[in-house]
Each structure stands twice: as structure tokens, then as C-alpha cells.
Amino acid sequence: MTTTPVAPAFLERIGVSRFIPSSKFSSVIVTFVLLVVMFGVGASRYRNFASGQVILNLFVDNAFLIVLAVGMTFVILTGGIDLSVGSVVALSTMIAASLARDGWPPMVIIAIVLVAGSTIGLLSGLVIHYFQIQPFIVTLAAMFLARGLCYVISLNSISITDPFFTAMANTRIPIADRMSITPSVIIALVVVAIGFLVLHYTRTGRTVYAIGGGEHSAMLMGLPVSRTKVLVYVISGFCSAVAGVLFTFYTLSGYSLTAVGMELDAIAAVVIGGTLLTGGYGFVLGSLLGVLLLGIIQTIISFEGTLSSWWTKIVIGGLLLVFIVLQRVLTARRK
């Protein structure tokens, strides 16, 4: 016996769901349309809002969040969650800043940071899979572990004066007249491209989607479920470490309280970008749109000038609720 979910049935009765397309790309299309509409509102309301540099600044100011969202997309596609990513970003900045202060070579510092982030992801993935513990609990523990390690390194902020890091922070790559981006944007877009290729053109990507669609079915199909479930958390940890490196380029410092709540921003961007929290459906490019949408909201509030920065959180919370309801409706219609 099957039952119709209450919320989608209610929306059907009031006629709302008729206006929601049932295409495979519906939620991504909605995100893109909302992004264009909000940009149009900002352009019509504020002078210079539609300038090319304002658009490029969406990438410059959110490069680290874009990378973080790519890793989170892999995890959520399997039906999991990773609450440790913000703390891993903070730990990455603390490791980089402390080693740079001690005179370590920049490439060695970055390699150590990437290994540390990947190791935390590996440990989380192994515990989740082999001990059958909920990802929420395991990654919550990893979050406290990473944040605690930050305080072990230092209780105070550590400035970075290494020439390589300062050069990466100050370098601008010209795109057109009076328009430029930073090296971090290039790195973030490369990560997005790699994530897209892995998810859509490799066996690993197909397995990620299959696990989200039904882990037991994926096992019956002979797919490497165990390896892939662990791998997605390694990818998330690696992306968190990369995001941490990009954040050190952005701030030229390491601080224990860095990135508090950033994991929620990453989750919000992924969900708003159209990835189902239950797994099995979503796109890396949708997550990119989600990050840009959050950036547009922050930019509008910044241009307004009279609004508190907390309005960003309020608007994001409202959008997140709307997109979760939208996902519920789309899922019910596909069934």
C-alpha cells in the first residue's frame, strides 16, 4: 500500500506544483532563473551593480566556498553529510600559517595541508562505512577534533608574511579593461571542472549516483560501494584543505575561529543548487550556481548599506526552506 506525501499533495491541491517543471534539470533551472532575477533586481536598484568586476568578484570572494561545495556535493550525492568541512578549513589555515611562520617551503606546507585534510576525510569515511555509524555523528566528531587541533596549534591569530602566499593574495589576472580575477578563482574553476568530469564521465561518478539512489541496489549491481563511500569523504576532506589554502590566500592569516558555520553555507549552496539531501540527484554546476546565488545575496546587502549582515543568513534560510520543499515536490512527481 502506498501513500501520497502530505506536503506534495497539498501543493497539488492548491495548484502550485503545476508551475514547477518536472525535467531532470528542474531544480538547477530554478536556481539559475533565481540567480538572473536577483542580479536583475540588483542591477536596476544599485548603480554599478552590473559592472563586470562586480560579477567577477562573486568568484573572487567565494573561490574557497566553491571548492568546499564541490566536495560537499560528492558526499550529499551518496546520501551522506559532512559537518567537519568548516573546521578542516580552519585547521588548514592554522597549519599553513604556523608552518609558514617557521620558514617551511610553501609547496611543502600546501602538501602537508592537503594530506591532513584528506586524512581526516579518510578516517571519517572508514568509521562511517565499517562501523555503520550515521555520517552526522561521525563528521560532528571530526568537526570537534579539527577545531580542537586548531587551538592546540595556537589560541591567537597567526599572520602570514611568506612571499609566495602574499604574491598569491595580491596577484590579479587581467580579463578585460579594469576587470581581473585572482589565481584562487582559476584553482576553484579547475576543481569544479574536475568534479564535473569525475561525476559524469567516470565509473566512480556513476557509483556515487548509484549509492545515493540505493546502496543495496548498487551492491547487487557489483559496484565498488565500500571504496566509493570512503572515497567521497576523502574527496570532501581534500576539497576542504584546498579551500583552506585558498582562504589563507584570501586573508593571509590563520585563526582558530575561522570558518565557523562555513559547513552550513556549503550545504546550503549544494541544496539550493539542486542536489537532493537524500542523495542520488544533483550536479556540481548546480552547486556552483548555489554559491553564486549566496554571493549575489551578500552583494545586494552590501550595496544596500543599511542592512545588517545577518540578513544574509535570514535570506539564505528562507531560500533553503523553499528549495527543500521544491525538492520534495519534484521527488513526489517523479514517483
Instruction: Tell me the sheet residues that pair with 174.
Output: 180
The mean pLDDT of 77-90, rounded to a whole number, is 95
3-state secondary structure 11-78: HHHHCCHHHCCCCCCHHHHHHHHHHHHHHHHHHHHCCCCCCHHHHHHHHHCCHHHHHHHHHHHHHHHC
For residue 306, pLDDT over 80 is answered with: no
pLDDT recorded at residue 322? 79
* Mean per-residue pLDDT of the chain: 87
pLDDT in tens, 184-241: 999 999 999 999 999 999 999 999 999 998 888 888 888 999 999 999 999 999 999 9
Mean pLDDT of 123-142: 94
pLDDT at 299: 87
Quick one: pLDDT band at residue 92, thresholds 50, 70, 90? very high
Q: List, for residues 3-53, the tens digit of each pLDDT value.
A: 445 555 544 554 544 444 445 677 788 888 888 988 888 888 888 888 888
pLDDT given at position 16? 47
Mean pLDDT value across residues 238-263? 94
Pairing of strands 179-181, 173-176: antiparallel
The C-alpha cell of 277 is what?
Answer: 539531501
Q: pLDDT category, 313, cuts 50, 70, 90?
A: confident
Residue 126 grid cell: 572508514
Residue 68 has pLDDT above 70, yes or no: yes
Using alpha carbons, select from 78, 103, 122, 102 the residue that is nearest to residue 270.
78
Nearest residue to 280 (alpha-carbon basis) of 167, 177, 199, 178? 199
Cell of 18: 503545476
Question: pLDDT: is 129 or 178 the higher one?
Answer: 129
CATH of domain 25-37+50-330: 1.10.3470
What span, in angstroms and rounded, lies between the C-alpha atoms of 299 and 289?
15
Handedness of CA 289, 294, 295, 301 (dihedral sign): positive
Four-point Cα dihedral 141, 144, 145, 150, nearest 10? 160
Q: What is the mean pLDDT of residues 257-276?
A: 91
> Distance (Å, rounded) from C-alpha 10 to C-alpha 325?
12
- Tens of pLDDT, residue by residue over 141-199, are 999 999 999 999 998 999 999 999 999 999 999 988 888 999 999 999 999 999 999 99
Does position 114 have pLDDT exceeding 80, yes or no? yes
* Every domain of the chain and the residues it spans: 25-37+50-330
Q: Around 217, how many Cα atoms within 13 Å sit in the side-chain half-sphere? A: 11
The pLDDT > 70 percentage for the chain reads 89
pLDDT confidence bin for 80, thresholds 50/70/90: very high
Range with the lowest mean pLDDT among 12-16, 136-140, 191-195, 320-324?
Answer: 12-16
Residue 305 has pLDDT above 80, yes or no: no
